[in-house]
Structure 1
Amino acid sequence: MPSWNIHTAHVERLLAEYDQEELGIHDVNCFLFGNLVPDIYVGYMVAHTTRTIPYGATHLTDPTFMPLPDADLFWDSYVVSRPGLQEATDLTLGAWAHLVADRCYNGAVRRVIANKDLPHGDELRIRKQADFDAFGRMLTITSVPHETDELLRQAQAFPQYPLAQSDVLAALDAAKTIVDKNREEHLAEEPDWNLLDAAFFAQTFEETHQAIATQLQKRAQGLL
């Protein structure tokens, strides 16, 4: 699965290529934070949260090897407008985008593994994660979500599960640490890959970007 530096890079590209109105985004800060939300309670991105929620529950998927989050189920459950319900918040849209990204990247890795007929296991997981870590460090990112009253309101109102204020603040600290670390440990040259390669990440980044951008634009245009 992509780490927060990759999710952040996707947000930055979206906002570099489109006006936020074209994407139906009102509060960029909340959308950016939403792109991190599904990982907050899973236990490995943010330390000492008030509770833990299994990855399968936060990402709407079975806890299998390279799980594929059900972004479509999330969209239908929490984004689609329904009479009497408030319009989906920017934080909720960001959480959906996170699931799309995880699905795209994990699906692409699955195809590589299947094509090479590689056995599942810790060795494969370590090779995959090393490549994702390297790719993330190749990205130049600067965006860090920050605390606002609106962010706290949307976090508390997140329809899948409410986020406690202390957990939001801890996640904001974690996000800043990741951006700072990415700058300090930036890779200017292509690394030695373990399982994947530059072409894989270029193609998957583009496919993920197009999947997110297309659906957000259609929603903003009233086509969904």
Structure 2
Amino acid sequence: DKNGNLIYLYANHKDEQYSYIEAATSKGYNVLLMDGQLDVAMVSMLEQKLEKSRFTRVDSDVIDNLIVKEDKHQEVLAADKQEAIAVAFKSQLPKMEKVEFNVITQALGENAVPVMITRSEYMRRMKEMATIQAGMSFYGEMPDMFNLILNSDHRLVKKVLEEEENTCQAEVTPIQIEMDSVNKQRNELTDKQKGKKDEEISTT
């Protein structure tokens, strides 16, 4: 990567992780298949022995974040739009016991998939180690946490956001106008009170 670390990409199920493997190979990377029962422990051991090296499963993040080649200033959605589309997708997610989804948006390119589900390498590895190593049961009891990544460049995600904005505009616009008016009055009042002592400020 850009810091000189050697990143080993790996998968433990070539069929279930096919789309992630495909994304990596399309960038010119090779992916190790590590589907043995003891491979989780072996990965940790190798990381301790190999300097400036890290093993990362292909489904733990989008490929550009797994092996960062350079700092990129990607065009991102405005914060209010990110929140709006995250709420829309969260409302459609199934309720599952001990499973949590964090919905985030990233600009992945219009030809990339519209939606990806990833899982933190650290948390996944800790939960896997909890099944084979004594004293790590705490991690096994924690909920499974996933990232639902929305590709803000994809036409389908853009369409969902556009339809949501059009649907909500009639209700949101009057509220926004009222909020803008209140904020304007507050700012004017703040400007008038600048430089005055507490006893000089009128409370009526």
TM-score between the two structures when normalised by the length of structure 2: 0.23
State the structure with more CA Rg: 2
